[in-house]
Structure 1
Amino acid sequence: MEARPERLNATVAWLFMLGSACFVLGSVPAYLDAVGGPVDGVTYVIGSIFFTSASFGQLVQAQTPAMTAVDADSQHRRAPVRLLGWAPHDRNWLAAALQFPGTLCFNVSTVAALTHNATAAEANRYVWRPDLYGSVLFLASSTYAVLAVSQRFLAFRPRSFPWRIAWLNLVGSVLFMASALASYVVPSTDAALNTRVAVAGTFLGALCFLVGAALMLPAWRRAVPTRPRGSTPHQFKE
């Protein structure tokens, strides 16, 4: 299988943007009121599919040097990609490898959420747990992404596109975690622990992911013209 590095990066960025946009839209109360619960739930499912597709593309990108070590000419030339890889000492790869199963967890939770009349125990088992696991994996992935673009975790590099992308994703992951925790269904009331926090965390977290994904496009354009042939750039995440 072959791909053009610039096109793969753009595809990953747009898939992440579409997935994030679906989560943003699905968490808007006015949208829920307008389309109803089932359509709102399907919106999340579609968004999770976009997330998973983008995450797999990013994993392929992270484990294929030919997709990142490019110059202004080779970025447009097709090159073989690695569908399977193992690079545990590469923080960029670790970030992508943790993120992908996280998106699969969101696939499970969003599909399970379409079930009607689920008990609190069923909702927590089939929706809340996968959502929590996905959020944990996203948080770990984003932490590795920050470490991949900075020598120190709290290094301040606001002019760097990769730094901004990594921190937007980390903030988004923290917000998704808050949403997941607040979505726990209390057995005694059959209601979420805190619906407002759950909705706000999803909306703001997805918004962070959306902006981070949009920055992948100018980040690539800035990096490629000044990148020496054969060098390895920062992995552009989400």
Structure 2
Amino acid sequence: MRGAADRATRRVRRLRRESWGFAVGSALFFVGVLPAYSSWAGPVWTNATFFAGSIFFTMAGLIQLLLSGRRAPDTRMNRADRTDWWAAAIQFAGTLLFNASTGAALVAAIIEPDRVGAGWRPDAWGSIAFLVSSALAVVATKDRGELWDRDARTWHGTGLNMLGSIAFGVSAVAAFVRPATGDLVSAAMANFGTAIGAACFFVAALLARRTIEEPPRRA
């Protein structure tokens, strides 16, 4: 009887738990840089959109960290799991940095909305953390067969997240404020990099799946 029940169990692919947060967060970042949205919403709500997106990123990053080996790395862990844990930990730190920068931008928008301009753009430290995390994820993906959860890393997800991190890095450079003039290096490139990065993160989140077993449906 037990064997028959096991054979009747269905194996299905479902969106990973952390993917929901990454997908919503990415969508909010993408919407936030759209000129039509920022013009309609105004500086306060535009920056509130970025801040909300960063909160979803942080929640998703925490879930991913807790699921990546489920403990801090030690000598008992293989290299793949250890690298995967560090990739998730550094990514989580990056999301906290984005919490700080988006929160500061929101406060500035509330206090002096006329001086905020187009709103928040990726900061350097958060972007560096994402780049380092993405590089470690590439290393973990090379040995994904040794991961405790093979679905945690896939080449399409790792590649898209790397592209997204690079795009956020380009945006951070373009958002550098020139001391002499107070202008950005390139506002258009900063917005474009943020949009491309958010789109890459969004698609990667939707492609991240996990295999679960479901009991057979009763007639």
Which band: TM-score by shorter chain? 0.7 to 0.9
2:23 is the alignment partner of 1:10? no
| SS at structure 1 position matched to 2:55 | helix
Aligned counterparts of 1:113 and 1:63: Cα–Cα separation in 2: 35
Q: Which whole-Å deviations, capped at 9, do the CAs of 1:69-124 have from their partners, x for residues lacking one?
A: xxxxxxxxxxxxx5xx2358411111101101100000011011121459x9xxxx
Gap regions ≥5 residues in structure 1: 1-5, 65-81, 121-126, 152-160, 226-238
The 5 A counterparts of 1:59-208 are 59-64=65-70, 82=71, 85-87=72-74, 89=79, 90-114=82-106, 115-116=108-109, 117=112, 131-150=123-142, 162-208=154-200
The amino acid of 1:179's aligned partner reads S
Q: Which whole-Å deviations, capped at 9, do the CAs of 1:48-80 have from their partners, x for residues lacking one?
A: 00000000000000022xxxxxxxxxxxxxxxx
Q: Is the 8 A contact 2:15 2:206 kept in 1?
A: no
Aligned counterparts of 2:174 and 2:104: Cα–Cα separation in 1: 18
Q: Is the 8 A contact 2:32 2:50 kept in 1?
A: yes
Q: Which residue of 1 aligns with 2:7?
A: none
How many residues get paired?
179
| SS at structure 2 position matched to 1:113 | helix
2:40 is the alignment partner of 1:48? no
| SS at structure 1 position matched to 2:180 | coil
Identity of aligned residues (%): 40
TM-score, length-scaled by structure 2: 0.75
| SS at structure 2 position matched to 1:185 | coil
Q: Which residue of 2 aligns with 1:210?
A: 202
Q: Which residue of 1 aligns with 2:8?
A: none
Aligned counterparts of 1:94 and 1:35: Cα–Cα separation in 2: 38
TM-score, length-scaled by structure 1: 0.69
RMSD, matched Cα: 2.5
Gap regions ≥5 residues in structure 2: 1-11, 144-152, 214-219
Q: Which whole-Å deviations, capped at 9, do the CAs of 1:104-155 have from their partners, x for residues lacking one?
A: 000011011121459x9xxxxxx88x8211100100101111111125xxxx
| SS at structure 1 position matched to 2:95 | helix
Q: Is the 8 A contact 2:91 2:130 kept in 1?
A: yes
- Bigger CA drift: 99-108 or 183-192? 183-192
